[in-house]
Amino acid sequence: MHPRLLRFAAVLAAVAVSAIAGASPAWAADTGGENTANAQASGGTLTVVAGHTYWSPPQGSSWATAAEPNPDQPYGCTYRAGGASATATLGVGGSQPGQWIFPSCRGPGVIDPMPPFWVTGAVPAPGSVQVAPVVVAEQAAKQLGLASPTIEMAPPDASAQLVGLASWLWIDPDQWRAVSASATAGPVTTTATATPTKVVWDMGNGASVTCDGPGTPYSPAGPDATTDCSYVWPAPGSFTVTATVYWSVTWTATGAPGGGTLGLQAGPPAEAPVSVTESQAINTPSAGSN
């Protein structure tokens, strides 16, 4: 099987093809190599039906409905656009902007799944309602899957913090990286990218600390190390420390002009209980003192 088909199988559930009632485009004879995942087409129209985008071949093309279907070839095909998720999995199959199209056919020679092909230059069907690219970008931003940070402290949050002693604050450095997600509506595909910019620490006692990075992990092997993210506790007590990462979200689009920023967005917070105590010094008289 073609390598792209192997990768396609992994996302079949997400981009499974299905027929539209009454649609009747046919799978063309394989004179131009259409029945391989390397095939390409251009033109045609895109129509959104029940939340899915379907491609209709241009009239007169080898993909269009044949007047008399070849009984030895698949026929009655419908063509569903795979969108950004298919491109992310299969890679780009030709010139951009474009997208993978997945046929669903009946008749002789049908295989499951039918090989996808790459289409460029498709346009929205006349009279179809188009969604503003920024709206699609906002949908992509909702799919970023921002995770709560992992709180780290020194002394550890499971140990008592000390009044007057700076507690180091940081989050797992592996979480300090950009994340992206895409969404598609009709011919428009947008990609939203969230980049972490700061961490706001609510210390649970009315104070807060803002750090412009993830903070510096503490290591006993480096006793002379310093950090730019810490807090000195002024009084003992039991508190809940909350860490929130703020992300700068930008977006780009293909299939329509657009791009820009969606502003600064807060990710889901993380909490950790902390106990703060005072270190008591005992003054013991030395021998011979009065």
Asked whether the beta carbons of 281 and 224 are under 8 A apart, the reply is no
Asked whether the beta carbons of 237 and 117 are under 8 A apart, the reply is no
Judge whether 286 lies within some domain. Answer: no
pLDDT tens-digit profile of 107-166?
A: 777 777 788 999 988 887 776 666 788 888 998 999 999 999 999 998 886 778 899 889
**234 and 169 share a domain?**
yes
Judge whether 148 lies within some domain. Answer: yes
Q: What is the CATH number of the domain that holds 178?
A: 2.60.40.10
Number of domains in the chain: 2
- The model scores a pTM over 0.75: no
**202 and 113 share a domain?**
no
Judge whether 290 lies within some domain. Answer: no
What mean pLDDT is predicted for residues 69-96? 80
**161 and 57 share a domain?**
no
**94 and 179 share a domain?**
no
Of 13-27, 90-104, 251-265, the range with the lowest mean pLDDT is 13-27
pLDDT of the residue at 5: 40
**119 and 140 share a domain?**
no
- Per-residue pLDDT band for 37 (boundaries 50, 70, 90) equals low
- Distances in whole angstroms, Cα of residue 147 to Cα of each of 56, 152, 179, 200: 40, 15, 10, 15
**144 and 218 share a domain?**
yes
**Domain limits for position 17:** 3-124
What mean pLDDT is predicted for residues 72-100? 82
Ranges 15-24, 42-51, 67-76, 181-190, most confident? 181-190
pLDDT of the residue at 200: 98
Decide which of 103, 124, 145 is a domain's last residue: 124
3-state SS, one letter per residue, for 143-172: CCCCCCCCEEEECCCCCCEECCCEEEEEEC
Per-state percent for the chain, helix, strand, coil, to nearest 5: 10, 40, 50
pLDDT of the residue at 181: 93
pLDDT of the residue at 153: 92
**115 and 139 share a domain?**
no
d(CA 244, CA 198): 8
Copy the structure tokens of residue 132.
Answer: 């503003």
d(CA 92, CA 94): 6
Dihedral, CA of residue 17, residue 21, residue 25 and residue 28, to nearest 10: 50
d(CA 229, CA 209): 8
**137 and 96 share a domain?**
no
Q: What is the DSSP string of 58-115?
A: PTTSTTSPPSS--TTS-EEEEEEE-HHHHHHHH---SSSSEEEEEEEEESTT--SSPP
- Distances in whole angstroms, Cα of residue 6 to Cα of each of 15, 25, 229: 14, 26, 47
Decide which of 124, 153, 169 is a domain's last residue: 124
Amino acid letter, 28: A
pLDDT of the residue at 32: 37
Decide which of 76, 96, 124 is a domain's last residue: 124
Which residue from 249, 250, 244 is spatially nearest to 264, judged by alpha carbons? 249
**273 and 141 share a domain?**
yes
pLDDT of the residue at 188: 83
pLDDT tens-digit profile of 246-284?
A: 999 999 998 778 899 999 999 999 999 999 998 765 445
**229 and 200 share a domain?**
yes
**138 and 253 share a domain?**
yes
pLDDT of the residue at 265: 94
Residue 223: other Cβ atoms inside 10 A:
7
**187 and 76 share a domain?**
no
Ranges 52-56, 88-92, 125-129, 151-155, most confident? 151-155
